[in-house]
Amino acid sequence: MAVEPQRAARQPGSHNGVNPLQAAVSSLVGSKVPPPPSQPAMGFFTDTSLCIGCKACEVACKQWNQLPAKDPVWTGSSYDNTGALGAITWRHVQFIEQIGDGYQGDRKGSSLPDTKFEDRVAEAKSSGTIPQVPPGTALPFFNTDRWLMRSDVCKHCANAPCQEACPTGAIIRTEFDTVYVQQDICNGCSYCVVACPFGVIARDEAGTHTARKCTLCYDRMKDGMVPACAKACPTDSIQYGEVDKLKAHARERLGILHERGVGEARLYGVDDDILEGGLNSFFLLLEEPEVYNLPENPPRPSNNVVPASFWSIVAALVLGMLGIVFFRE
Amino acid sequence: MGSNMAEAHPVAFPNVVEAKERGAKVIHIDPHFSRTSALANLYVPIRAGSDIVFLGAIIRHLLENNGYFHDYVVHYTNAATLVREDYRDTEDLDGLFSGYDPATESYADQSSWDYQRDADGRPVTDPTLQHPQCVFQIMRRHYARYTPEMVEQVCGVPREQWMQVAQTLIENSGRERTSALCYAVGWTQQSKGVQIIRAGAIMQLLLGNIGRPGGGVMALRGHASIQGSTDVPTLYELLSGYMPQPSALLPQQTLADYIATSGQKTGWWSNFPAYIRSLLKAWYGEAADEEEGNTSYRWLPKNIGDHSHLATSYEMLDGKVRGYFLFGQNPAAGSTHSTMQREALKQLDWMVVLDLYETESAAFWHRGPVPHTDAVDPSKIKTEVFLLPAAASTEKEGSFTNTQRLIQWRDKAVDPPGDARSDLWFVYHLGKRLKELYADSKEPRDRGLQALTWEYELEEPEPGSRILDEPDAQLVLKEINGYYVYPQDQTEMGTGKAHAYTLREAPHVPGFAVLKADGSTACGSWIYSGVYPEPGNNRAASRNGEGYTFLQWGYAWPANRRILYNRASADPQGRPWSERKKYIWWDEEQKKWTGFDIPDFPLNKPPDYMPPPGATGMDAISGSDPFIMKPDGKGWLFVPTGLKDGPLPTHYEAAESPVHNALYHQQSNPAAKYYRDRPDNRLAAVGDEHYPIVVTTYRLTEHHVSGQMTRWMPWLNALQPALFAELSPELAAERGIKHGGWMVISSPRGEIEARAMVTRRMRPLRIDGHVVHQIGLPFHWGYQGKIKGSITNDLTHMVLEPNVSIEEAKAFTCNVRPGRLP
């Protein structure tokens, strides 16, 4: 496992991620190995406005990474029988039905009608929502009934909580700036599982007993290949590439959708405000993040370091002061 | 419409998504809100089985409001042609056309549907479209009652929503714009399926959307290479290239009779003799020259009735069929009325199943449907079943021909495991053994088998493969493409004296234009001729995606044309209708047709060419008649000949419907095959309160047809583990069915159980003042595989469409209740 040198230098504690044998060898013989060429950060842009919910990404991921199938259990949760990301599920397509009169969601300012279907047209006509003779070309980009589909995946956070929580250094950043769990180092302590604000990483209870998640197909990337899910995606809803370029493209795409009247479209994880650095695997959503089970402000374990340290110091000071007070006599 | 493209064709649907990104409007009209609807600009829920009212109202709207593309319609369609005076419309006869014979339940006499003709036999026309017997005026009368109000009443679609569809189509058709229509088995699997497709075609002709870029009618086929199996057919009523199978019921005792009754004197089909002779030559070699082809023609089997898969099932049930080959077919779960299908299999002496796994059909003798899978007693079943392992698509070489007539070659990736072999291997070696068996026969009837050309050995075995006797798929393709039988300079060819090439050494023909009716050429399917024009140039294998029309990617029959009838992309004078939609046009300087595609027209025939009286063949087609496969060169709004259920699409209710036909007393298609004498084929009466709910079936992306390949794959099973029925919250509340619980669905043919998916994606419709509920059922489950479930086709019936004998699985009736089967 090679690690991008600059980032290794920048990130305290990340020397844990260097293969110890390699480190030992290089300390003995001196650094003869030339540093790998600088490699731009790579990631996913998942554009949910193009997703057709075919789940080809799920199957391609399972196949390439040889992950076992989940037990076949019908959940009744729309067409989603996968349920959640986990140790053996690294892509998961969500299905969210927002259809017709039943939907009473919290879409502020939404024009979605809540009356019975047969009265909708007449009402829409009288209110002027649909003109008397509707102009055909004025059709909206999506019809008013919505079936939201999103292929979820590891976010490969720029500041990854799982990595911050990992006590063994099993979780590292690769030369592609992705977050990777070294299976031979992970001891299965599961600190990362509770640290991940997205519920991505999980311990493989039935198999390896280690923490597992999407590798962004590290083995494929090393050979210059596109990750399996992005390769299989028929509509380019999953796009893979250099994070900077993908982010520029995502912003451009958002502009196009806004121009076409999809006002509720938004980006998630493109800007730095999420986890103070953004996500290397980010999304274009057609609803608020909560609708997709995404936290608006995910917490970082390291955010607790300063306050926790502060109070420790305060406590120590108070104890110290008390000690001075008590033992003076 | 009639298609769930995103789910059933997820590889093709990205093209729709791409078009939408470029500004196209996507409209989805379907009984259930699917993943296709989710991506559409407009979704319109419709009652299953009411399509012709929806389309008929658009046709009426176009005709009455000058919404049609006038110049296109007048010049390129038969709108101006006069129909015989004795023609009677469904408006005159309350749902029947003239010529109906109630005794045989068929249109025995279709002569009144014909054109009025002049002394030379040419159709009489009125270009002003005013004559009361012209097609245009007949259509106006025929569709007069297909109003927006009728759409609301019959389809359950609010008229405003219907109007939005009509308006969008009009605004996106004409000189500057075109609209495409996609349909799939949601249309075909109805007792009037062909007429629904006809209604779509009429709409597209009126809008000027045929033969032009961005237009057309896309038939999304049921699975890979179904198009191919129609072109080089596995169908009982077709020889290759859409030449009909000879029939004993027609005056077709000799080749000349057959050509006279099947070919045409005018238009492209005047080349029929060259195509049939070349086919006989490909199949029977030298023997095809005897009596100018007559001898070998007699060897072709003659139809004596409907020998389609479904009609044959009843013959099987009656004990008239002794043996059965199933290549990837799974009638015990995948064919309509599968309870009857399984009964029919019991009457066989033997059955051979070639498949990847032990399918429901292969296991019918020891296992039955869920929940009583052990209820079958093998000791009571006499059928001997041979299950042979088949090769998967990646384990064999060959071609796929898909929706857009594009032939694409597929390479073999790995050897099939164990004893598994390709279908080609199986058929070839079966043929060889049969020929050996009959080699010494003196019976005249065996001469055909003896004469059959059957040499497709590989020159040398495929390097690295352990299978040494796999036939040469490229050699089969060469025969399909066609070849010269004799050296070109030989004068005695066709006399039986000349030296003939073997298939391997013969020079390829460059295309069907050189095929001859004198026995000097052989061709396995004339429409594919040109796919393999010379050694080493298999154009189906070419993968160059450059250019506007991708002419170097695969090969689209015929002649690599990407759009059929593309002469219609230019106006009658040969100029593009608009710069924006420029495609094929007449180049005045070079005196020829040119453009971005292969012109579908004689290259040097000028636009102002007028046929002299009495002209035959292609000479009878004028320079401004694009539809060269038709004897009059016109797009047929009105079909004077060729259909078994009428010249114009007419609304009939499905064979099972909760409502009476609002337009005619004739309730359902009068020419459909009802099998009323079959006790197992009980139909619910109109408005039967025991079966008040409309049910439609469909596919999910995660499984393939009856699941015979996919339900063995744990990754896919986890994605869709169980059969479920989709129903609206209103219906669920009415029947006390809980989301996620079990429910029983019953029809007069049987009962099945499924999980209840209560969803707003299904919604009740208001039909003629009453609420009509619809439910949706996928059909991917059965009693084999790693996940099991009820067989949806145990509910469906055996009422067949009259033209193509297809079942009606997309609109029938049922009832639902909470709980499970006992």
Question: Which candidate in B37, B61, B164, B774 is best for mutational testing of the A interface (most A CBs within 10 A)?
Answer: B164
Q: Within 10 A of B819 (CB to CB), how many other CB atoms are there? A: 12
Residue of B nearest to A76 (CA): B740
Q: Tell me the mean pLDDT in the region B371-395.
A: 95
pLDDT of residue B296: 96
Would the pLDDT of B495 be above 70? no
- How large is the ipTM? 0.93
Determine, for residues A74 and B724 on separate chains, whether the beta-carbon distance falls below 8 Å.
yes
CATH number corresponding to B693-818: 2.40.40.20
Ramachandran bin of B146, using left for φ above 0, alpha for ψ from -120 to 50, beta for the remaining angles: beta
Q: Tell me the mean pLDDT in the region B458-479.
A: 95
Residue of B nearest to A236 (CA): B14
Q: Tell me the mean pLDDT in the region A173-198.
A: 96
Check if the beta carbon of residue B818 is closer than 8 Å to that of residue B695.
Answer: no
Which has the closest alpha carbon to B632: B648, B644, B623, B620? B620
Q: Which of A100, A117, A139 sits opposite B41 (nearest CB)?
A: A139
Would the pLDDT of B497 be above 80? no
Residue of B nearest to A134 (CA): B164
Give the lowest-confidence range in A95-109, A123-137, A197-211, B568-582: A123-137
B487 against B407, higher pLDDT: B407
pLDDT of residue A113: 36
B residues 773-802 lying closer than 8 A (beta carbon) to A: 786-787
Chain B residues in contact with A148 by the CB 8 A cut-off are 38
B residues 24-83 lying closer than 8 A (beta carbon) to A: 25, 27, 33, 35, 37-43
**Which residue type does B404 have?**
Q
B160: contact with A, CB 8 A cutoff: yes
Chain A residues in contact with B740 by the CB 8 A cut-off are 76
A106 against B809, higher pLDDT: B809
Would the pLDDT of B34 be above 80? yes
CB hemisphere CA count around B352 (13 angstroms): 11
Contacts of residue B645, Cβ cutoff 8 Å, sequence gap at least 6: B107, B192, B194, B195, B669, B670, B671, B672, B802, B803
Give the lowest-confidence range in A298-312, B378-392, B790-804: A298-312
Question: Which candidate in B41, B711, B713 is best for mutational testing of the A interface (most A CBs within 10 A)?
Answer: B41
Residue B608 sits at φ, ψ, to 5 deg, of: -95, 10
- Compute the distance between CA of residue A144 and CA of residue A127 in angstroms, rounded to an integer: 16
Chain B residues in contact with A70 by the CB 8 A cut-off are 718
Give the lowest-confidence range in A33-42, B5-14, B572-581, B787-796: A33-42
pLDDT of residue A123: 56
Q: Tell me the mean pLDDT in the region A9-21.
A: 44
Determine, for residues B755 and A58 on separate chains, whether the beta-carbon distance falls below 8 Å.
no
Q: Within 10 A of A183 (CB to CB), how many other CB atoms are there? A: 13
B510-543 tens-digit pLDDT:
999 999 999 999 999 999 999 999 999 999 999 9
Check if the beta carbon of residue B27 is closer than 8 Å to that of residue B172.
Answer: no
CATH 3.40.228.10 fits B5-219, yes or no: yes
Q: Which of A69, A78, A125 sits opposite B715 (nearest CB)?
A: A69
Give the lowest-confidence range in A3-17, B67-81, B437-451, B805-819: A3-17
Residue B436, helix vs strand vs coil: helix
Residue of A nearest to B729 (CA): A102
β-bridge pairing B350-355 and B323-327: parallel
- Compute the distance between CA of residue B677 and CA of residue B657 in angstroms, rounded to an integer: 20
Which has the closest alpha carbon to A218: A250, A188, A182, A192? A182
pLDDT of residue B222: 82
Determine, for residues B39 and A52 on separate chains, whether the beta-carbon distance falls below 8 Å.
yes
Would the pLDDT of B363 be above 60? yes
Contacts of residue A17, Cβ cutoff 8 Å, sequence gap at least 6: A1, A3, A8, A169, A171, A172, A173, A182
Give the gap in angstroms from C-alpha B729 to the nearest C-alpha of chain A.
9
Q: Which of B7, B25, B761 sits opposite A139 (nearest CB)?
A: B25
**Dihedral, CA atoms, A175, A178, A182, A185, nearest 10 degrees?**
90
pLDDT of residue B492: 54
Check if the beta carbon of residue A199 is closer than 8 Å to that of residue A85.
Answer: yes
Q: Tell me the mean pLDDT in the region B637-664.
A: 97
Longest CA span, chain B: 83
Contacts of residue A164, Cβ cutoff 8 Å, sequence gap at least 6: A195, A300, A301, A302
- Domains in chain A: boundaries: 5-98+148-298, 100-144
Ramachandran bin of B259, using left for φ above 0, alpha for ψ from -120 to 50, beta for the remaining angles: alpha
Determine, for residues A234 and B10 on separate chains, whether the beta-carbon distance falls below 8 Å.
yes
Cβ-in-10-Å burial (0-12, 13-18, 19+) of B644 comes to middle
Check if the beta carbon of residue B404 is closer than 8 Å to that of residue B550.
Answer: no
Give the gap in angstroms from C-alpha A235 to the nearest C-alpha of chain B.
5
Q: Which helix (H) or strand (E) holds B317?
A: helix B309-317
Which has the closest alpha carbon to B59: B119, B125, B144? B144
Would the pLDDT of A321 be above 60? yes
Determine, for residues A118 and B158 on separate chains, whether the beta-carbon distance falls below 8 Å.
yes
Confidence of residue A1 (pLDDT cuts 50, 70, 90): very low
Give the lowest-confidence range in A47-61, A107-121, B594-608, B749-763: A107-121
Check if the beta carbon of residue A10 is closer than 8 Å to that of residue A158.
Answer: no
The pTM score is 0.91
Going through B600-723 in order, the beta strands assigned E by DSSP cover 693-698
Determine, for residues B42 and A76 on separate chains, whether the beta-carbon distance falls below 8 Å.
no
Beta bridge partners of B125: B81
Chain A residues in contact with B160 by the CB 8 A cut-off are 121, 125, 130, 134
Round the average pLDDT of chain B to a whole number and report it: 96
Cβ-in-10-Å burial (0-12, 13-18, 19+) of B419 comes to exposed
Determine, for residues A145 and B701 on separate chains, whether the beta-carbon distance falls below 8 Å.
no
Chain B residues in contact with A125 by the CB 8 A cut-off are 160
Check if the beta carbon of residue B684 is closer than 8 Å to that of residue B796.
Answer: no
B701: contact with A, CB 8 A cutoff: yes
Percent of chain B whose predicted confidence (pLDDT) is above 70: 99
Give the gap in angstroms from C-alpha A165 to the nearest C-alpha of chain B.
32
Would the pLDDT of A134 be above 50? no
- Compute the distance between CA of residue A53 and CA of residue B703 in angstroms, rounded to an integer: 14
Check if the beta carbon of residue B645 is closer than 8 Å to that of residue B108.
Answer: no
Residue of A nearest to B158 (CA): A121
CATH class of A5-98+148-298: alpha beta
pLDDT of residue B362: 98
Contacts of residue A248, Cβ cutoff 8 Å, sequence gap at least 6: none
Check if the beta carbon of residue B86 is closer than 8 Å to that of residue B98.
Answer: yes
Sign of CA dihedral B424, B427, B433, B434: negative
Which has the closest alpha carbon to B260: B238, B276, B280, B282? B276
B248-302 tens-digit pLDDT:
999 999 999 999 999 888 899 999 999 999 999 999 999 999 999 999 999 999 9
Chain A residues in contact with B65 by the CB 8 A cut-off are none
Residue of B nearest to A83 (CA): B719
Contacts of residue A274, Cβ cutoff 8 Å, sequence gap at least 6: A157, A268, A297, A298
Q: Tell me the mean pLDDT in the region B375-381.
A: 95
Check if the beta carbon of residue B610 is closer than 8 Å to that of residue B633.
Answer: no
Ramachandran bin of A98, using left for φ above 0, alpha for ψ from -120 to 50, beta for the remaining angles: beta
Per the structure block, which two tokens stand in for A38? 């600088």
The per-residue b/e assignment along B479-513, b for 16 or more CB within 10 angstroms, e otherwise, is bbbbbbbbeeebeebbeeebebeebeebebbebbe
B127: contact with A, CB 8 A cutoff: no
Q: Which of A81, A103, A148 sits opposite B721 (nearest CB)?
A: A81
- Compute the distance between CA of residue B538 and CA of residue B478 in angstroms, rounded to an integer: 9
- Compute the distance between CA of residue B187 and CA of residue B811 in angstroms, rounded to an integer: 10
- Domains in chain B: boundaries: 5-219, 228-303+470-540, 566-626, 693-818
Question: Which candidate in B4, B11, B15, B17 is best for mutational testing of the A interface (most A CBs within 10 A)?
Answer: B17
- Give the number of beta-carbon pairs within 8 Å between A and B: 147
Residue B688, helix vs strand vs coil: coil
pLDDT of residue B356: 97
